[in-house]
Structures are given as C-alpha cells and as structure tokens.
Amino acid sequence: MEAPSHDALEALARRHFGTGARVRGVDTALGGGSNRTTFFEVVEAGGRAPRRLVLRQETYRAPKSPFLRPDWQYALVAAAHAAGVPVPRPYFLLEDADGLGRGFAMERVEGEGLPRRILRDPVFSAVRPALAGQCGEILAAIHQIDTASLPFLDDIPESRDPIHAQRERLDYYDEAHPALELGFRWLEARRPALARRALVHGDFRNGNFLVTRDGIRAVLDWECSHAGDPLEDLGWLCTRSWRFGHHELPVGGFGERDDLYARYRAVAGEAVDPERVRYWEVYGLVRWAVINLMQAHGHVFEGRSSVVFAACGRNVAEIEYDLMRTLDGSVA
C-alpha cells in the first residue's frame, strides 16, 4: 500500500472536520516496521488554529504477530486519554470507504522520542533524574484503567498466558535457541501468583514516550497491550535492552528503581515486590528475543527485505547473552 496522497488525506479531513477543511504539511516518517506514520495539518474554515495530526496505518501483519489490531489500539488510547494518562488525543478510525486500510488518526504531540538523545542531550539533563518517578506515576494510572471497558483484552494471547504466548511464537519460527529454552524453564518454575489483574501497556519503555524539558509528554505505541500482572510493565521498563548502554541506571538508562517504585506506590497505593519485577525483567528478555525472531523471519521468509529486520536476527544473540547473565546473577 502506497503512502496516503494529499487528496486522500484532505478527503479524510473534510469528512471529520467539515467540508471547508484543507490539508497541508504532509510528511511520512522514515522507519516503522508494521505501521506507516504520516504527519499532516488540518486547516478548518473559520480561522481556528490548525490541528496537527498523525495517521497510523497498518502496512503488514506477521504470522503470529503480537501486535494488536488498529481499532483495539485506538480504543486503548481513547481509554487512556479519558483516564487522564498523557497520550495523544485520538481523533478517528479509518473506514473501509477511505481506501487507506486499517489505522487511526491522533493528535501530534511534540517531544523527543529517540532514547539516545533523551539519555545524552544536555537539553534533558535537568529532567532526567525525575523521569523514573514520572514513569511510576504514569504506570500506576494506566494500571487503574477499568479493563471491563475493554472486552477485547480477553482475546489477546498474553492476557490468557503470557509465557505460553511467547512459547507458541518461538515454536512457530522453528529455530533452536537453547538460551531461550533455559529462560522458559526458569519462568515456568518461578511463575508468581497473579495478585491483581490490570491493563498492561506492554511496551512502556524508553523510546515509546515523548520527553520535553518538563518531562514525559505522551505515552505511545499501545500495540502490545493486554491484561495481566501490572508489575510486568515495571519489569519491561527495567529490562537491560531498554537502558541503551547505560546499565548503571536500570530504569530506562535514566533512573533508579527506588524512585520508580516509590512513585508507583504513592499513586497506586500498593507496594512493589522487587523479586516480581525481576521475574518480569527475565520474561522481557525472552519476549524481546522472540519479537526479534519474528522480524528476522519476516526479512528472510516473508518478503520484508530490510536491513533493520535483518539486524533483528543479530539482536537475538545479544538478548540471549543478556538473558544468560541475568539468570546467573552476574548483571542486575
């Protein structure tokens, strides 16, 4: 599917914002594996300030993909926005008549999303120490969203059994990975009891939120959300892969666990068990390795020729190395 034309975007704008609406400043972002991101402005009749929008289109769905349908993602963003979580304002879902496939439009929020800039740019030096606490507050708010208002969560494999969901995907790709087998055995032997079932963002990490000098402006990428143990999100955020080389700071490469846990406890009203967080860190490494296998499989077998997806195959070995060192206690 080609990128949306100016005329197609203008037709969308007129359907949702009035027949006098015009579109300008169209720009399709580079990157993106299973989704295309297009930025544009809508100028309405009457002289009001332009609306700055982002259109997300699904362009590919891998076999056994862990990524949610666009309409489910849209519902999650809408629920988070209604709950006061910092997310872009959702505007509309694409319809069949639009001829643009599946996707949705939301507000464009300004901020930095590249992890290495967040971790290194002097612009963020003052706010970096506060980010771990902000993450705790935001995650606590996400985990208080009523899952009953999102019935499709029950249809997501991770909602039923997150370990089995990864096991099934690994078996589908039919590759031998002894380190991951060891990881699965460790996870099964230590599986914690589910104390509380909550909405899990599923990909809350450095790189999936926008940061300004004032802190986190918006949480993005709800395509891996499900229902489960809320501490899964804390473990994912602390997984070594998302520290981007700043391993001395376990929370996203910018903060300390104590700050994350303290702010989470203050908002959620419940203590954080560090051992359960560590469990979900190990799970995160296994899960991230399986996702990279999926992307590499798409490059080799599904016609998605891409240097980025080819590199995912190499990444698997790096993640397995981190997994083994985490399991033997040589890294934290």
The per-residue pLDDT for range 3-20, each reduced to its tens digit, is: 899 999 999 999 999 999
User: Which spans in the chain are helix H?
Assistant: 6-17, 70-82, 115-120, 128-142, 157-160, 162-173, 178-189, 231-238, 257-268, 274-301, 307-327
Q: What is the pLDDT of residue 33?
A: 56
Q: Is the pLDDT of residue 151 over 70?
A: yes
Structure-token pair, residue 165: 């969901």
Q: Is the pLDDT of residue 30 over 70?
A: no
Q: Is the pLDDT of residue 298 over 60?
A: yes
The per-residue pLDDT for range 50-86, each reduced to its tens digit, is: 999 999 999 877 778 889 999 999 999 999 999 999 9
pTM: 0.94
Region 141-146: mean pLDDT is 97
Answer with the residue of higher pLDDT: 184 or 46. 184
Domains and CATH numbers, the chain: 6-107 (3.30.200.20), 115-327 (3.90.1200.10)
Cβ neighbors of 139 (< 8 A, separation 6 or more) are: 201, 204, 230, 233, 234, 237, 264
Q: What is the pLDDT of residue 170?
A: 95
Region 98-105: mean pLDDT is 94
User: 51 - beta bridge partners?
Assistant: 42
Q: What is the pLDDT of residue 299?
A: 75
User: 228 - beta bridge partners?
Assistant: 198
Q: What is the pLDDT of residue 62?
A: 75
Cβ neighbors of 104 (< 8 A, separation 6 or more) are: 55, 56, 70, 71, 73, 74, 77, 90, 91, 92, 93, 94
Helix, coil or strand: residue 28:
strand
Q: Is the pLDDT of residue 32 over 60?
A: no
Quickly state the pLDDT bin for 31 (edges 50, 70, 90). Answer: low
The lowest-confidence range among 18-22, 101-105, 109-113, 303-307 is 303-307
Q: Is the pLDDT of residue 304 over 80?
A: no
User: 257 - beta bridge partners?
Assistant: none
Q: Give the mean pLDDT of the chain.
A: 93
Structure-token pair, residue 288: 């991230």
